[in-house]
Amino acid sequence: MAAIKARPLNGGSCVATLDTELARGSLPLSEYVAQIAGTDVLNPGSLEPIQLGLYGEVGGIMSASKKHVREGDAFPGYRKAAEEEFGDTLWYFTALCRRLGHPLEDIFADGIANGGYKRVGVASDYRLGALAQILVPEGAVNLDLALFDLGRGAADLLGESPARTDLVAFAGYYLKALSGAGLDFSTVVRANIKKTRGAFLAPDPASLIDFDRDFLPEEQLPRQFRIKVSQRASGRTYLQWNDVFIGDPLTDNIADRDGYRFHDVFHFAHAAILHWSPVVRALVKQKRKSRKEFDEEQDCGRAIVVEEGLTAWIFARAKDLNFFEDQHQISFGVLKTIGEFVSGYEVSSCPPKLWEKAILDGYKVFRQMRAAQGGWIVGDRDARTIHFEPLAEPA
């Protein structure tokens, strides 16, 4: 049975998707609205950024959906891309409905009612009701036509104050396009909650994973650390931890003297804030060798290469932005690429907002270190902080 839309008969206002196994439970759209409310950081009194964002995301739906349907299982990444584009479109549509004072679930309920669906009664997996009405398209959905309708519907929302009827029409077009692309609404909704909350909301410290929690102290990254970084007349930098030299002396390894010789700052920022750094584990010789899977899969040479490559990639972009000076956020495109870099490693569970903190705080220390040509990197894993101190010992 294909994915289908469900509306509980117990008085709730949920419009959700039941998957083929009817196993995961429905998510009321009112709950979606509540979950993403704090991620809307755009001007609440302005429609234009929301309308333009919505229109742009619909273009993304058209491209990703066609590739997903055309390529099928040959390129599974297209399905994820299509789900993400539908999720981003839903986010902007929710923001538009919020600004216009219309509850999202009511708009979708009317969109379904007017969208050519038929009702089928089924046993419900919705916790508060035993019976649900499943609304399925009355006929096969032509994806091309559904996407054209969706594009026209988005254009109708570009006016100075879109009418409720235009919102309802767009909701119906959205659901038909979703059905035509063969995607699951609940997956789209849940993935968008995870994405937007991870990108825009500071994580609850209690929800963050301590990757060292179950290991002995000698296999943990240092809880607190002071790393001395000194530069010799040769231009090489040296690291010292507890008065012991660690790692190899570094130069910039490029004609453009850009300060990359101080880049170990970023690895220590990862260790302090993300609780992850295969590079630092290797430097201080505190790998988790007591458990083979961690030693071979998380602290291995490949993980070190991933972190080094990621650090170099971010640095190349940071150079064009004055090393993030006076910036308070990192572009979501960069954060998304970071997620792709670290896929399969434990750090992939860290939300984008935590990565943003690690990058911005790390680059603040880097700029200070570069200006002073050395200094102390001071990290506290318990507080997830890192800061700079000059080489002169504090009184």
Question: How far is 379 from 225, CA to CA, in rounded Å?
Answer: 5
Chosen domain end from 142, 172, 201: 201
Whose CA is closest to 219, among 272, 289, 307? 289
Q: Does residue 284 lie in a domain region?
A: yes
Q: What is the pLDDT of residues 210-222, one digit of tens each?
A: 999 899 999 999 9
Q: Does residue 311 lie in a domain region?
A: yes
Length of the chain: 395
Chosen domain end from 183, 201, 219: 201
Distances, alpha carbon 255 to alpha carbons 96, 251, 318, 370, 373, in Å = 50, 11, 17, 17, 18
Please indicate, yes or no, whether residues 185 and 303 belong to a single structural domain of this protein: no
Please indicate, yes or no, whether residues 197 and 326 belong to a single structural domain of this protein: no
Please indicate, yes or no, whether residues 190 and 244 belong to a single structural domain of this protein: no
Please indicate, yes or no, whether residues 214 and 173 belong to a single structural domain of this protein: no
Mean pLDDT, residues 77-88 taken together: 89
| Site of tokens 């997956």 | 187
Are the C-beta atoms of 300 and 279 separated by less than 8 Å? no
Are the C-beta atoms of 61 and 82 separated by less than 8 Å? yes
Mean pLDDT, residues 312-333 taken together: 94
Please indicate, yes or no, whether residues 332 and 223 belong to a single structural domain of this protein: yes
Are the C-beta atoms of 133 and 119 separated by less than 8 Å? yes
**Six-digit token pair at 158?**
């570009």
pLDDT > 90: what percent of the chain?
A: 68
Please indicate, yes or no, whether residues 157 and 259 belong to a single structural domain of this protein: no
pLDDT > 70: what percent of the chain?
A: 88
Q: Does residue 81 lie in a domain region?
A: yes
Q: What is the pLDDT of residues 253-281, one digit of tens each?
A: 888 889 999 999 999 999 999 999 999 99
Q: Which residues contact 214 (CB under 8 A, 6 or more apart)?
A: none
Q: Residue 142: which H helix or E strand, with range?
A: none
Q: Does residue 395 lie in a domain region?
A: no
Are the C-beta atoms of 243 and 218 separated by less than 8 Å? no
Mean pLDDT (the chain, rounded)? 87
pLDDT at residue number 124: 67
| Site of tokens 């006929």 | 139
Please indicate, yes or no, whether residues 291 and 145 belong to a single structural domain of this protein: no
Mean pLDDT, residues 281-310 taken together: 96
Chosen domain end from 141, 173, 201: 201
CA 188-193-198 angle, to 5 degrees, is 130
344: left (phi over 0), alpha (psi -120 to 50) or beta: left
Please indicate, yes or no, whether residues 235 and 86 belong to a single structural domain of this protein: no
Mean pLDDT, residues 137-160 taken together: 89
Mean pLDDT, residues 199-227 taken together: 93
Question: How far is 352 from 336, CA to CA, in rounded Å?
Answer: 8
Q: Does residue 138 lie in a domain region?
A: yes
Please indicate, yes or no, whether residues 361 and 266 belong to a single structural domain of this protein: yes
Please indicate, yes or no, whether residues 160 and 304 belong to a single structural domain of this protein: no
pLDDT at residue number 3: 35
- Per-residue pLDDT band at 115 (split at 50, 70, 90): low
Please indicate, yes or no, whether residues 175 and 219 belong to a single structural domain of this protein: no
pLDDT > 80? residue 114: no
Task: Look up the domain containing 56 and give its range.
Answer: 4-201
Burial class of residue 123, CB neighbours in 10 A (0-12, 13-18, 19+): exposed
Question: How far is 224 from 244, CA to CA, in rounded Å?
Answer: 16
Please indicate, yes or no, whether residues 91 and 13 belong to a single structural domain of this protein: yes
pLDDT at residue number 63: 87
Q: Does residue 394 lie in a domain region?
A: no
Mean pLDDT, residues 160-186 taken together: 92
Are the C-beta atoms of 360 and 330 separated by less than 8 Å? yes
Q: How far is CA 245 from the centre of its chain?
A: 37
Q: Does residue 279 lie in a domain region?
A: yes
Mean pLDDT, residues 234-244 taken together: 94
pLDDT at residue number 273: 97
Q: Does residue 31 lie in a domain region?
A: yes
The count of structural domains within the chain is: 2
Question: How far is 27 from 90, CA to CA, in rounded Å?
Answer: 14
